[in-house]
Amino acid sequence: MKAKKIIIFILSIFVFLGAILLFNFILVDSNGIDPSNKKSSSKKMEASAYSGVNIVSEVSDETTYHMAVHYPKFKDQQLNQGITDYVTESKENFLNEVKNNKEFLKENIAELNISFNIYPVAENVYSIVFSNESYVVGANGFQSTKVFLVDIHNHQYIQQTDILIDNEQNRGKIYQLLLNAFEQSEEYSLYFFKEDLKNWIEDENNHFSNMYLTDKSVIFKFNEYEVTAGAAGSPEISIPIDQFKDFLTDEWKNKLKVKVQTDEQKVPPKVTHEEDSEKALNKETSTNRKRVALTFDDGPHPKNTEKILKLLDKYDAKATFFMLGNRVDFYPNIVKEIASKGHELGNHTWSHKDLTTLSNEEIKKEVEQTNKAILDATGEYPTVFRPPYGAKNAQVDKASGMPATLWSIDTLDWKSHDPKAILSIVKENVKDGSIILMHDIHATTVEALEPVLKFLKEQGYECVTVSSLNSN
C-alpha cells in the first residue's frame, strides 16, 4: 500500500513538472520571444503641455531587442484607435523581423524607436507627426514617418484633402513650390530626384498624407528614398502659410488666419546669457588635466537620459546636453534633473530642422521656443547652442543669436548602433580639447558610455562641460 502511494506521488510530481514545461511552451509568443529571456518592460502615461493630450511611453529591454515607443493618448477612444492601430502594426512588424533574424540577433540587438512631435495648428487642432526607426539587420535600418491631423474638440481625424483644394492646376503649383525648395536646399539638392517628385505629385492615389500644418507653415515630410537618395534621410520641406494659402479651402484659410500667436518668445537678453555662462563656468574647477567635453544630442529620453545621468555621476563626469524643445516640452522633469546635477543645458532647436533652409523668423522661432521651454523647466536659459546636422551659415549665426557649438569627434552612434564601434572611434581620435558627439536617444549609446568613461578616466581625461572646455 505504501509503495503504491509513493508511485502515485512520484507520478504526480512528473505531471506537475510537465504542466509547467507545457505552460512555458505556450507562453512563448507568436513572435518566438521566450518570456524567460525577458529582462524588463514598462508602460507609463504622463501629462503633456497640450490640453487634452497625454503621452504614453512603452519601453522594453529584452535579450534580443530594445523597444522605446511613445505616442499620444486622448480622452476620446475613437481618436485613440487610429493611433493605437498604427503603433500596434509597427510593433508587430518589428517583432516579426526579430523572429525572422534569430541567428543574426544572437550577437546583435535589434532596436525600435517610435517618437512623435505635436504641433498646435488652431484651437483644439494638432498635427501629430510620428518618426519610426527600426534596426534589425543592416547599419541604416528602416525609417518612416506617419502624420495624423487631429481635431480634439470634434473628436475626429482631419484628412489632408479636406484642407486642400485638390485639382490638377493646384497640384502643378504645389509641385513647383516643392521643386524650387528641393533645388535650392543645400541639404537635399545633391540627392534630389526631380522625376520621382513629379511622379509623386501626379499619382492619383496621392492624397497628401505626408502633409501637416503648424500655425505658420505647411510641411511635407517624405519617407526615405521616396524622392531623394538614402543619404538625404527623410526630407522635410516647409512652406510658409502665406505662400500656400491659395491652395487652402476657405474654412482653413479662416482657421489659420485668425489664430492668435500667444506663445511669443523673447530673445534672452545677452547679459542673461553671459551671467548664465559665467555661472556654468564657475561650476567647473580649473585643473591641468587633459579635458574633453561629452555632448549628447536629440534628447531628453525618458529612459536613456536617466541612465546616462547615473553613469556620469558614477565617474564624476560632467556633460552638455543639446536638447530638442519638443522633447523638453514632453519631459521637463528630466531637464530639471540634468540642470540640478551640474550638467550644461544646450539648445538643439525645437524640431531638428536644417536651419540653413529656413527664413530668419523660422530660425528665431526654432531657437527661442526651445530657450523658453528650457527656461520653464529649469529656471535657467541654455548656455550653448548646436544647430541640427551642424548645418550653419552667416544667416543662422545672426538669426539664432547664439554662437554654434559643433564637435571634433562624431562617434557615429546614430549609424552603427554598436557600443564597440563607438568606443573604438573615441579611442582612435580623442585628444585634449576634444568635443565628443553622441545621442542619448539610443540604448546602444548608453551601453557604450561606461566603457568610454572608463577609458577616458584611465587615460587621464577629465570630462567637463563645453563652456568649461572653451574657457581654456
Name the grid cell of 187: 541639404
**Do 410 and 382 form a contact (C-beta atoms < 8 A)?**
no
Active site residue 297: yes
Packed helices 443-458 and 304-314: angle between N→C axes, nearest 10 degrees: 10
The DSSP symbol for 141 reads -
Q: Read off the DSSP letter of residue 387.
A: -
Q: Which amino acid is at 8?
A: I
Q: In the numeric block, which cell numbers belong to residue 452?
A: 568610454
Q: Which of 297, 329, 413, 440 is catalytic?
A: 297
Chain center to CA of 341: 23
| Contact indicator for 323, 350 with CB cutoff of 8 Å | no
As a whole number of angstroms, the distance between CA 85 and CA 296 comes to 32
| DSSP-based three-state secondary structure for 231 | helix
Phi, psi of 349 (to 5 degrees): 75, 175
In 3D space, the residue among 297, 314, 382 whose CA is nearest the CA of residue 347 turns out to be 382
**143 φ/ψ angles, rounded to the nearest 5 degrees:** -130, 135
Q: Which is catalytic among the residues 66, 301, 439, 442?
A: 439
Burial 333-346 (b: 16+ CB within 10 A, else e): ebbebbbeeebbbb
Q: What is the DSSP string of 128-193?
A: EEEEEEEESSSSS-EEEEEEEEEETTTTEE--HHHHB---HHHHHHHHHHHHHHHHH-TTTGGGB-
Instruction: Indicate if 329 belongs to the active site.
Output: no
Neighbours of 100 (CB within 10 A): 14
- Which three cell numbers mark 59? 519601453
- At residue 353, φ and ψ (nearest 5 deg) are -90, 155
Q: What is the CA radius of gyration of the chain?
A: 25
Reduced to 3 states (helix: H, G, I; strand: E, B; else coil), residue 280 is: helix
CA distance 31 to 95: 6
Whether 118 contacts 48, CB under 8 Å = yes
Classify the C-alpha dihedral 325-278-392-322 as positive or negative: negative
* Residues that are catalytic: 297, 439
